[in-house]
Structure 1
Amino acid sequence: MPSFNIVVIGGGAAGFFGAITAAETFPDARITILEKNRTVLNKVRISGGGRCNVTHACFDNRQLVRHYPRGEKSLRSLLNQFDATATVRWFENRGVPLKTEADGRMFPTTNTSDTIVDCLLTAARRLGIQVRTSCGVTSLSFTSQPDGTTSYKVKLFNEELIQADRVLIATGGYPQLSSYGWLPQQSEPLLSPVPSLFTFNVPDSPLLSLAGVSVKDASVYVIGTKQEQRGPLLLTHWGFSGPAVLRLSAWAARELADVQYRFKFRINWVPTLNENQLRTTLQDFRQQNGRKQVISQNPFNLPTRLWQALAAESGISETQRWADLPAKPLNRLSEKLTNSQFQVIGKSTFKDEFVTCGGIDLNSLNPQTLESKAQKGLFFAGEVLDVDGITGGFNFQNAWTTGYVAGKYIGL
């Protein structure tokens, strides 16, 4: 194949993986990565608390796709080309073994994201890929050639024009997606981007003083919807976070955006018990611990500070003994345990894992190659697509998978 130019717009995980795959598949190609920031792979560096949650140890693709609120159907077929097993093998073959933690998240054994960044940079350097930073794109135009091919011109902030035979767009999600005016006019429809994976701001929460307290298992439900998630919950100085809240924000991303992040939700602090079981447990505990103060012990193994706060909200004094506890505060305590309600006023992005709901409509792309159906030679990968997963390494798996697929076919 004659030498041709491939331009990758976006120096993140998907952009690098697409460029590396393209260089290995089409060795005659000249490949350039354009990144508008001064550094590349920025999200890789900060993810997972600086450790980089590379993927998730879910090696059954039918199960893996269930962790994606959007894009499940399209991703299912793409994973047949490059899945979590392939990701683990890819990094191990380049001297970067991964380890699996108890919750299924996979990290480099070095416990630092620098290992992943260095691996990608080294691979790009070895393959002769040119990486250019501080190169923001202002326009992308194309010309159809008589032979049926398409040539592209990429215009940068400094007015420089770069010629390309193929273009891979891997610029990431929100808020970049809000300013895609430089895409060709006849290009793909863009599903309105909104944030996903965010925490809940509850400025009036009576639990703000408990910032840092975590609960291993709680159920969180958005009132007025069918959206509910269960799992670990973290109390913060602005409201609530933790896997249960983040997963809920992902699955309910559209609904919460529609109400401008003003909504009520409820927490069941003891989701393993139904209402009758909880009342029975409280009564049994009351009989067995009659002389003890209510705030000193609880039958649900909840954090002490949280238990004391819920008891205080129920009108139970610090000196109140179980044996003398009246029915009304006991009923209020039961209600607090199963149906604590809070008013959310706004969101806070979860900086390490923040992703986007929305993006390029997958129906406008070839489902096997991620090439535009409308513009030959134009490919998309990563968070720019309308694909997003919950926390746990699933969004990086989307980046590796779609980057690999786009890179594999971009030279054909």
Structure 2
Amino acid sequence: MKKIAIIGGGAAGFFTAANLGKELGKQTVIFEQSPAPLQKVRVSGGGRCNVTHACFDPRELVEFYPRGKKELLSVFHQFQPGDTMEWFESRNVPLKVEEDNRIFPVSDNSMSIIEALMKEVEKNQVEIRLSENVLKIEKKENHFLVHTKSEVLPFEKVIFTPGSSVKSMDILRNLRHKIVKPVPSLFTFNIKDERLKDLMGISFEWSEIAIPQFKLEAEGPLLITHWGLSGPGILRLSAWGALELNKANYEFSIRINFIQQDKEYCIDFLNELKLEHAKKLVQNINPFSFPKRFWHRLLEVCKIPVDLTFSHLNKQQIQALATELTEGIYQVKGKSTFKDEFVTAGGVDLKEVDFKTMESKVCPNLFLAGEILNIDAITGGFNFQACWSEGHIIAKHLESIN
């Protein structure tokens, strides 16, 4: 009987295996249902892999997690982004911190991360079984039985890191775990609105976005897509509002401020332009450096003719333009999955996990990490950091008791 089964060949599973050491590693088997491991690592950050985030104070770091904040504080005190950077860089994967504090390999290629993990796992002599679907886990008195399609294998301990599939949740329910219903956490907003029609690809460096109904606010870059709106600002809102937006069946209103100034400031600014550019056509002066197509669309929405000069802008038109720029209301009807960073809220109830070791409180010798837990974060490398930290804790605990 081998000692350890790792169910799931993603970030948490492989990082655990990479830190087990050779003595435990050669008694460990990773079961991964797909034909290739580390698929989310491969596509993260557009194929560059956003490894972690340059936030090195655990108290500040946990503020990026809508769910799991309290529990992760002790986890990050044990292993935080600085430790992640040191781990990869000591294995010949130099990393870089970008302007927004996201951390990537210098190579800008996720394969650098994957190859480092694979090399450590192979060095530890861990057996990797790809295309191996685990159907069931049975708890016996002093061991587990792991059922695959072809055989039933005994293990002393199970590390469960399969992601958040319905099947994975069912396996844990059979081991007496309580599951918080999973819902999407990172997604974009579907909006059919004439103001956005045919403007796909236009982006804004910084916008303020709110969902007044749920008192949610976020800011960040914004992108118009063929289905509506995306970008970091939208994704942050989707993460913090994951549960409420799911209950609302993804139908709600958002308010957008495209210029980061209030309406009164905008009105005063437009009146100044009226004096300064009195004889010029409004459509030819783009005061906010928007792409021309967007500026012209706003003028059209506010019924400002193409041949109108600033001197002829009336009070109602200025009011309408200021409203669109600072308080534009858009109706969201549905969502689209943000495929590269697909994350869910929900999973194992956090009260059932000992976060000093990541061991289950209801099923001894079962360890849990990654998206199977009711923990999630906004984009920026935070979800991977939780996986690295939890996996490292499990590996070091098992080494200490071996």
TM-score of the alignment, normalized to the shorter chain, above 0.5: yes
User: Residues 286-330 of structure 1, C-alpha deviation per residue, up to 9 Å, x if partnerless?
Assistant: 110111111111332333221111111000111111101122222
User: Residues 196-241 of structure 1, C-alpha deviation per residue, up to 9 Å, x if partnerless?
Assistant: 1110011334313111111111111113111010111001111000
Task: State the partner residue of 1:15.
Answer: 13
The answer to whether the Cα contact below 8 Å between 1:388 and 1:395 also exists between their aligned partners in 2 is yes
Matching residue within 337, 342, 364 for 1:349: 337
Please state if 1:208 is matched with 2:208.
no
What residue identity is the alignment partner of 2:101?
G
What residue identity is the alignment partner of 2:156?
D
Task: State the partner residue of 2:207.
Answer: 218
Q: Using the TM superposition, name which of 14-23 and 370-379 deviates more.
A: 14-23
Go from structure 1 to structure 2 and tell me whether the alpha carbon gap of 1:205 and 1:350 turns closer, same or farther (over 3 Å shift).
farther
The answer to whether the Cα contact below 8 Å between 2:223 and 2:230 also exists between their aligned partners in 1 is yes
Please state if 1:318 is matched with 2:306.
yes
Count how many residue pairs are aligned between Structure 1 and Structure 2. 400
Q: Tell me the SS of whatever aligns to 2:330.
A: strand
The answer to whether the Cα contact below 8 Å between 2:135 and 2:149 also exists between their aligned partners in 1 is yes
Task: State the partner residue of 1:162.
Answer: 153
CA distance in 1, matches of 2:273, 2:197: 28
Please state if 1:291 is matched with 2:279.
yes
TM-score normalised according to structure 2 size: 0.96
CA distance in 2, matches of 1:321, 1:78: 61
Structure 2: 5+ residue stretches without partners = none
User: Residues 80-130 of structure 1, C-alpha deviation per residue, up to 9 Å, x if partnerless?
Assistant: 111101000000111111011111111111110011111111111111001
Task: State the partner residue of 2:41.
Answer: 44
Q: Tell me the SS of whatever aligns to 1:348.
A: strand
CA distance in 2, matches of 1:165, 1:109: 40
The answer to whether the Cα contact below 8 Å between 2:200 and 2:226 also exists between their aligned partners in 1 is yes
Task: State the partner residue of 1:259.
Answer: 248
Task: State the partner residue of 2:145.
Answer: 153
Q: Tell me the SS of whatever aligns to 1:224.
A: helix
Counterpart mapping for 1:295-374 below 5 A = 295-374=283-362
Report the identity percentage.
41
Q: Using the TM superposition, name which of 181-190 and 75-84 deviates more.
A: 181-190
Go from structure 1 to structure 2 and tell me whether the alpha carbon gap of 1:141 and 1:171 turns closer, same or farther (over 3 Å shift).
same
User: Residues 337-368 of structure 1, C-alpha deviation per residue, up to 9 Å, x if partnerless?
Assistant: 11211111111111111211111111101120
CA distance in 2, matches of 1:46, 1:29: 29
Considering fraction of residues, name the structure with more helix: 2
CA distance in 2, matches of 1:339, 1:317: 22
Q: Tell me the SS of whatever aligns to 2:9.
A: coil
Please state if 1:114 is matched with 2:106.
no
The answer to whether the Cα contact below 8 Å between 1:265 and 1:341 also exists between their aligned partners in 2 is yes
Q: Tell me the SS of whatever aligns to 2:339.
A: coil
CA distance in 2, matches of 1:266, 1:390: 20
Cα distance, 1:184 vs structure 2: 5.6
CA distance in 2, matches of 1:105, 1:291: 46
Cα distance, 1:178 vs structure 2: 6.0
Cα distance, 1:28 vs structure 2: 6.9
Please state if 1:99 is matched with 2:88.
no
Task: State the partner residue of 1:280.
Answer: 268
CA distance in 2, matches of 1:177, 1:93: 37
> RMSD of the alignment, in Å?
1.5
CA distance in 2, matches of 1:332, 1:83: 48
Task: State the partner residue of 1:84.
Answer: 81
Structure 1: 5+ residue stretches without partners = 145-149
CA distance in 2, matches of 1:292, 1:410: 73
Q: Tell me the SS of whatever aligns to 2:172.
A: coil
Please state if 1:391 is matched with 2:379.
yes
Q: Tell me the SS of whatever aligns to 2:354.
A: coil
Task: State the partner residue of 1:246.
Answer: 235
Q: Tell me the SS of whatever aligns to 1:183.
A: helix
